[in-house]
Structure 1
Amino acid sequence: GSSNYAYWKTRMRYFIMLVDESAWEVVKEGWSRPEQTTNERNAAQANSKALYAIFSRIDMEQFKMISTCETTKEVWTILPNQHEKNSSVCQRNIDL
């Protein structure tokens, strides 16, 4: 119950302070995401739309390759590299 919470709270406080004193300040004082400019907001929205478009049109194997990507640039680097590598391997096998 509450005695376990007091124990946990004290240990967690000092653990967070050990990791980073400023991390503890954020816990105490709070934090808010910095304001974005209109251009930054628009770019983030465009990135989200493009990611959704790609994620909704790929199979599970492709999804596994890119599921942790947060930008379309990452996705657009991984997928072509993977497919072109497989394609060139297939082409070499055909040529043999």
Structure 2
Amino acid sequence: MKAYIKSIDEKAWCAMLIGWEAPKMDDNNGKVTKPEMQWATEEEKLANAISKALYVIFCRMDMQEFKRIAKCIVAM
């Protein structure tokens, strides 16, 4: 699985290891999630990388396994 995800995108594997959170921005209420239309190019690339990795994982498992891990936040 590691080799396959890394072959798709090295950032995808890194995102699987460290986790991913949507970009934040400062607001009157503190830090809030930044709307996708305001993401910088690098933020979009990282979000795309994690989507690719999750797609690979979800496509490689049966429904029972999917239900077991569906609520997990990070892959490790």
Q: Shorter-chain TM-score: which interval?
A: 0.3 to 0.5
Whichever structure has more strand as a proportion of its residues is: 2
TM-score, scaled relative to structure 2: 0.47
Whichever structure has more helix as a proportion of its residues is: 1
Larger Rg: 1
